[in-house]
A and B are shown apart, each in its own frame.
Chain A
Amino acid sequence: GAGVSQSPSNKVTEKGKDVELRCDPISGHTALYWYRQSLGQGLEFLIYFQGNSAPDKSGLPSDRFSAERTGGSVSTLTIQRTQQEDSAVYLCASSPRAGYRSEQYFGPGTRLTVT
Protein backbone atom coordinates (compact mmCIF):
# COMPACT_ATOMS: atom_id res chain seq x y z
CA GLY A 1 0.00 0.00 0.00
CA ALA A 2 0.92 3.67 -0.15
CA GLY A 3 3.45 4.85 2.37
CA VAL A 4 3.85 8.23 4.03
CA SER A 5 4.17 11.00 1.47
CA GLN A 6 5.49 14.51 1.91
CA SER A 7 5.42 17.59 -0.25
CA PRO A 8 7.25 19.41 -1.55
CA SER A 9 10.34 17.24 -1.71
CA ASN A 10 12.52 20.34 -1.90
CA LYS A 11 11.82 23.92 -0.93
CA VAL A 12 14.10 26.92 -1.29
CA THR A 13 12.88 30.10 0.33
CA GLU A 14 14.21 33.50 1.22
CA LYS A 15 14.86 34.45 4.81
CA GLY A 16 11.76 35.99 6.37
CA LYS A 17 9.22 34.17 4.20
CA ASP A 18 6.64 31.68 5.52
CA VAL A 19 6.62 28.07 4.35
CA GLU A 20 4.16 25.19 4.63
CA LEU A 21 5.22 21.56 4.57
CA ARG A 22 2.67 18.83 4.03
CA CYS A 23 2.48 15.24 5.25
CA ASP A 24 0.05 12.53 4.13
CA PRO A 25 0.22 9.61 6.59
CA ILE A 26 -0.55 6.00 5.86
CA SER A 27 -4.31 5.55 5.67
CA GLY A 28 -5.76 4.54 9.02
CA HIS A 29 -2.75 5.62 11.08
CA THR A 30 -3.96 7.71 13.98
CA ALA A 31 -0.57 8.95 15.19
CA LEU A 32 1.56 11.38 13.20
CA TYR A 33 4.99 12.75 14.07
CA TRP A 34 7.22 15.51 12.76
CA TYR A 35 11.01 15.36 13.11
CA ARG A 36 13.81 17.57 11.86
CA GLN A 37 17.19 16.38 10.62
CA SER A 38 19.93 18.97 10.39
CA LEU A 39 23.70 18.87 10.18
CA GLY A 40 25.24 18.90 13.61
CA GLN A 41 21.92 18.29 15.39
CA GLY A 42 20.99 14.86 14.17
CA LEU A 43 17.36 13.87 14.06
CA GLU A 44 15.14 15.62 16.60
CA PHE A 45 11.48 15.39 17.52
CA LEU A 46 9.23 18.37 16.85
CA ILE A 47 5.58 17.46 17.54
CA TYR A 48 3.18 14.56 17.46
CA PHE A 49 -0.54 14.20 16.84
CA GLN A 50 -3.01 11.66 18.12
CA GLY A 51 -5.95 12.18 15.83
CA ASN A 52 -6.27 15.92 15.38
CA SER A 53 -4.87 16.89 18.76
CA ALA A 54 -1.22 17.48 19.61
CA PRO A 55 -0.45 16.15 23.10
CA ASP A 56 3.25 16.89 22.77
CA LYS A 57 4.59 20.03 21.15
CA SER A 58 7.72 20.10 23.25
CA GLY A 59 10.11 19.85 20.34
CA LEU A 60 8.96 22.92 18.43
CA PRO A 61 12.01 25.21 18.56
CA SER A 62 10.18 28.53 18.66
CA ASP A 63 6.76 30.12 18.29
CA ARG A 64 7.50 30.58 14.60
CA PHE A 65 6.76 26.88 14.21
CA SER A 66 3.23 25.53 14.25
CA ALA A 67 1.46 22.44 12.99
CA GLU A 68 -2.06 21.26 12.48
CA ARG A 69 -3.79 18.11 11.46
CA THR A 70 -7.24 17.93 9.97
CA GLY A 71 -9.64 15.04 9.55
CA GLY A 72 -7.20 12.80 11.38
CA SER A 73 -5.19 12.61 8.20
CA VAL A 74 -3.12 15.30 6.47
CA SER A 75 -0.82 17.46 8.57
CA THR A 76 0.80 20.77 7.76
CA LEU A 77 3.91 22.14 9.44
CA THR A 78 4.18 25.92 9.08
CA ILE A 79 7.32 27.93 9.67
CA GLN A 80 6.82 31.69 9.81
CA ARG A 81 9.53 34.26 9.13
CA THR A 82 12.04 31.59 8.20
CA GLN A 83 15.63 31.88 9.37
CA GLN A 84 18.76 30.27 7.96
CA GLU A 85 18.98 27.96 10.95
CA ASP A 86 15.63 26.47 9.88
CA SER A 87 17.39 24.84 6.92
CA ALA A 88 17.05 21.08 7.43
CA VAL A 89 15.23 18.01 6.23
CA TYR A 90 11.78 17.78 7.79
CA LEU A 91 10.58 14.22 8.21
CA CYS A 92 7.09 13.04 8.91
CA ALA A 93 6.18 9.63 10.33
CA SER A 94 2.94 7.85 11.11
CA SER A 95 2.01 4.83 13.18
CA PRO A 96 -1.20 2.86 13.67
CA ARG A 97 -1.55 4.35 17.15
CA ALA A 98 0.49 6.46 19.51
CA GLY A 99 2.70 4.75 22.00
CA TYR A 100 5.56 2.36 22.15
CA ARG A 101 3.92 -0.72 20.70
CA SER A 102 3.68 0.75 17.21
CA GLU A 103 6.43 1.16 14.68
CA GLN A 104 6.82 4.56 13.11
CA TYR A 105 6.90 4.68 9.33
CA PHE A 106 8.71 7.61 7.78
CA GLY A 107 8.15 9.65 4.66
CA PRO A 108 10.93 10.76 2.28
CA GLY A 109 11.21 14.19 3.88
CA THR A 110 11.14 17.78 2.69
CA ARG A 111 14.52 19.45 2.27
CA LEU A 112 14.15 23.09 3.27
CA THR A 113 16.84 25.59 2.33
CA VAL A 114 16.58 29.16 3.61
CA THR A 115 18.77 31.61 1.71
Chain B
Amino acid sequence: KQEVTQIPAALSVPEGENLVLNCSFTDSAIYNLQWFRQDPGKGLTSLLLIQSSQREQTSGRLNASLDKSSGRSTLYIAASQPGDSATYLCAVFTGTASKLTFGTGTRLQVTL
Protein backbone atom coordinates (compact mmCIF):
# COMPACT_ATOMS: atom_id res chain seq x y z
CA LYS B 1 0.00 0.00 0.00
CA GLN B 2 1.37 3.39 -1.02
CA GLU B 3 2.17 5.72 1.86
CA VAL B 4 3.17 9.34 1.40
CA THR B 5 4.92 11.35 4.10
CA GLN B 6 5.77 15.02 4.22
CA ILE B 7 8.40 16.63 6.37
CA PRO B 8 8.28 18.97 8.17
CA ALA B 9 4.66 19.01 9.31
CA ALA B 10 4.91 22.74 9.94
CA LEU B 11 7.38 25.43 9.02
CA SER B 12 7.69 29.14 9.81
CA VAL B 13 10.14 31.31 7.92
CA PRO B 14 10.72 35.05 7.53
CA GLU B 15 9.81 36.70 4.27
CA GLY B 16 12.46 36.45 1.59
CA GLU B 17 13.89 33.10 2.61
CA ASN B 18 14.26 30.22 0.20
CA LEU B 19 12.79 27.00 1.53
CA VAL B 20 12.42 23.32 0.73
CA LEU B 21 9.47 21.05 1.46
CA ASN B 22 9.98 17.31 1.38
CA CYS B 23 7.76 14.47 0.23
CA SER B 24 8.56 10.77 0.36
CA PHE B 25 6.61 7.77 -0.88
CA THR B 26 7.02 4.06 -0.19
CA ASP B 27 6.15 2.58 -3.59
CA SER B 28 8.41 3.94 -6.32
CA ALA B 29 6.13 2.62 -9.08
CA ILE B 30 4.40 5.95 -9.52
CA TYR B 31 3.15 7.49 -12.74
CA ASN B 32 3.28 11.07 -11.58
CA LEU B 33 3.54 13.35 -8.58
CA GLN B 34 1.53 16.49 -8.06
CA TRP B 35 2.07 19.36 -5.60
CA PHE B 36 -0.92 21.32 -4.32
CA ARG B 37 -1.50 24.21 -1.98
CA GLN B 38 -4.53 24.50 0.25
CA ASP B 39 -5.61 27.73 1.89
CA PRO B 40 -7.70 27.54 5.10
CA GLY B 41 -11.27 26.59 4.32
CA LYS B 42 -10.53 26.27 0.62
CA GLY B 43 -10.05 23.52 -1.91
CA LEU B 44 -6.76 22.46 -3.46
CA THR B 45 -4.88 24.45 -6.06
CA SER B 46 -2.56 22.47 -8.33
CA LEU B 47 0.94 23.91 -8.41
CA LEU B 48 3.07 21.47 -10.38
CA LEU B 49 2.67 18.05 -12.00
CA ILE B 50 5.77 15.93 -12.61
CA GLN B 51 5.46 12.84 -14.78
CA SER B 52 7.53 9.81 -13.71
CA SER B 53 9.87 10.31 -16.68
CA GLN B 54 10.68 13.86 -15.63
CA ARG B 55 13.19 15.05 -13.06
CA GLU B 56 11.78 18.48 -12.33
CA GLN B 57 9.20 21.10 -13.15
CA THR B 58 9.30 24.84 -12.64
CA SER B 59 6.62 27.48 -12.35
CA GLY B 60 7.67 30.98 -11.36
CA ARG B 61 9.29 30.86 -7.93
CA LEU B 62 8.44 27.17 -7.52
CA ASN B 63 10.62 24.26 -8.54
CA ALA B 64 9.71 20.65 -7.89
CA SER B 65 12.10 17.76 -8.31
CA LEU B 66 11.42 14.05 -8.43
CA ASP B 67 13.75 11.15 -7.63
CA LYS B 68 11.53 8.22 -8.34
CA SER B 69 14.03 5.52 -7.47
CA SER B 70 14.57 6.86 -3.98
CA GLY B 71 10.93 7.72 -3.46
CA ARG B 72 11.44 11.42 -2.91
CA SER B 73 10.29 14.79 -4.17
CA THR B 74 11.12 18.29 -3.04
CA LEU B 75 9.31 21.56 -3.58
CA TYR B 76 11.63 24.55 -3.59
CA ILE B 77 10.11 27.97 -3.00
CA ALA B 78 12.37 30.91 -3.78
CA ALA B 79 12.13 34.31 -2.10
CA SER B 80 9.14 33.37 0.03
CA GLN B 81 6.29 35.85 0.51
CA PRO B 82 3.52 36.10 3.13
CA GLY B 83 1.08 35.09 0.37
CA ASP B 84 2.82 31.73 0.19
CA SER B 85 1.43 30.86 3.63
CA ALA B 86 -0.74 27.77 3.16
CA THR B 87 -0.66 24.02 3.56
CA TYR B 88 1.29 22.25 0.85
CA LEU B 89 0.31 18.73 -0.15
CA CYS B 90 2.06 16.27 -2.40
CA ALA B 91 0.19 13.41 -4.03
CA VAL B 92 1.27 10.46 -6.15
CA PHE B 93 -0.57 8.57 -8.85
CA THR B 94 0.25 4.90 -8.44
CA GLY B 95 -0.34 1.64 -10.23
CA THR B 96 -3.48 0.90 -12.17
CA ALA B 97 -5.78 2.90 -9.96
CA SER B 98 -6.79 6.26 -11.33
CA LYS B 99 -6.47 8.07 -8.04
CA LEU B 100 -4.07 10.16 -6.03
CA THR B 101 -2.60 9.16 -2.70
CA PHE B 102 -1.95 12.24 -0.63
CA GLY B 103 0.73 13.12 1.85
CA THR B 104 0.10 14.48 5.28
CA GLY B 105 0.89 18.07 4.31
CA THR B 106 3.28 20.80 5.41
CA ARG B 107 1.76 23.90 6.96
CA LEU B 108 3.87 26.89 5.91
CA GLN B 109 3.81 30.32 7.49
CA VAL B 110 5.84 33.15 6.01
CA THR B 111 6.18 36.04 8.42
CA LEU B 112 6.89 39.70 7.75
A contact residues vs B (CB 8 Å cutoff)? 4, 6, 31, 33, 35, 42-45, 48, 50, 55-56, 58-59, 91, 93, 98-101, 103-109, 111
* Interface of B: prevailing SS: strand
* Partner among B34, B52, B97, B101 whose Cβ is within 8 Å of the Cβ of A58: B97
A91 to B89 alpha-carbon distance, docked (Å) = 14
B-side contacts of A108, CB under 8 Å: 42-43
B61 at the interface (CB under 8 A from A): no
For A104, the chain B residues whose CB sits under 8 A away are 34, 46, 100
Chain B residue at minimal CB-CB distance from A49: B98
Min Cβ gap A22→B in Å is 14
Question: Is A56's CB under 8 angstroms from B102's CB?
Answer: no
Which B residues lie within 8 Å of A98 (CB)? 98
Residues in chain A near residue B44, CB distance under 8 A: 91, 93, 106
Given contacts A101-B51, A103-B34, contact A45 B100 (CB under 8 A): yes
What residues on A are CB-neighbors of B45 within 8 Å?
A: 106
Task: Report the minimal beta-carbon distance from A69 to chain B, rounded to whole angstroms.
Answer: 14
Is B99 within 8 A of A59, CB to CB? yes
Q: Report yes or no: A56 in contact with B93, Cβ–Cβ below 8 A.
A: no
B43 touching A100, Cβ below 8 Å = no
State how many angstroms separate the Cβ of A46 from the closest Cβ of chain B: 9
Instruction: Say yes or no: A91-B43 contact (C-beta < 8 A), given A100-B31, A101-B51, A104-B34.
Output: yes
How distant is A92 from chain B, measured CB to nearest CB, in Å? 9
9 smallest CB-CB distances across A and B, nearest first, come from: A100-B31, A106-B44, A43-B102, A45-B99, A108-B43, A106-B43, A100-B93, A98-B98, A100-B32
